[in-house]
Amino acid sequence: MSEWTSHPLFGVTMTVGAYALSCWVRDRWFRPLNPLLAASTVLIVFLLCTGIPYEDYNVGGSVVSFFLGPATIALGTLIYKHWPLVRRRIAVILSGLTFGTVFGIGITALLLCLFGGSRQLLLSMLPKTVTSPVAVEIVSLIGGIPEMGAVFTVLTGLTGSVLGPALSRLAGIRSDIAVGTAFGTTSHGIGTARLLLESEIKGSISGFAMACSAILTPIIFVPIYWWLDLIS
């Protein structure tokens, strides 16, 4: 059994199959279903029930993960396509993502301090709104647990992609600029992928905000790193 489960095609087939099944269920029976969340749940349950080691699955799963980089870079084509709109509203976008980034870090720190979270949990959660590769590097530098940082980052993206559209409608936010900036700042690539299903303009704004947030967040963490170094 281990021979075929450790083959790269097993992980690739399981990942693509779980996502395709989730999309089919969403389109046929349950429109609110989030395919990313459903596919992740299906894979986790399957691996737990069959006892297949995660390492075996990840031989092929890492092949799928490899394409995250090219897929993210491909967002640049949409940003270029809608650049005239981005350029006209760039001040609004930059001010919104700056406030959103600072507020996200601040509210995370405040809530964890109020509820007695440990130092390592705090350091692992602080950069959760930025895209995963950047978040993991920041967590490593400030002394958190990179694996936990990756989990919190993915959960943040999934939560935003699931609840974000409904919350935007509930709050009466209809602007493509506002919605795209909010998703790109707080839900990174997962939220951007969700917006692309609705609107190319929203997706391009979200991709631009995500890229700017990936540059801004490490800069914000420079004084945080110095402060943590002083008190440690």
pLDDT tens digits, one per residue of 177-214: 888 888 888 887 778 877 887 788 888 888 888 888 88
CB 115, CB 108: distance < 8 Å: no
Task: Write out the two tokens for 40.
Answer: 């992740």
Report which residue type is found at 54.
Y
C-alpha to C-alpha distance for 153 and 161, rounded to whole angstroms: 12
Average pLDDT over residues 77-91: 85
Tens-place pLDDT, residues 132-161: 778 888 888 877 787 777 788 888 888 888
Q: Evaluate whether 106 touches 98 at the Cβ level (below 8 Å).
A: no
Percentage above 90 pLDDT, the chain:
0
| CA-based nearest residue to 14, from 37, 36, 47 | 47
pTM given for the model: 0.77
Indicate if the pLDDT at residue 36 is higher than 80.
no
- On average, the pLDDT of the chain sits at 80
pLDDT of residue 18: 84
What per-residue confidence (pLDDT) applies to 229? 63
Q: What is the pLDDT of residue 232?
A: 59
Is 47's pLDDT higher than 80?
A: yes
Measure CA of the first residue to CA of the last residue in the chain; give whole Å: 49
List all residues 6 or more positions away from 66 whose beta carbon is below 8 Å from its beta carbon: none
Q: How far is CA 89 from CA 168, 194, 209, in A?
A: 20, 22, 12
Q: How confident is the model at residue 15 (pLDDT cuts 50, 70, 90)?
A: confident
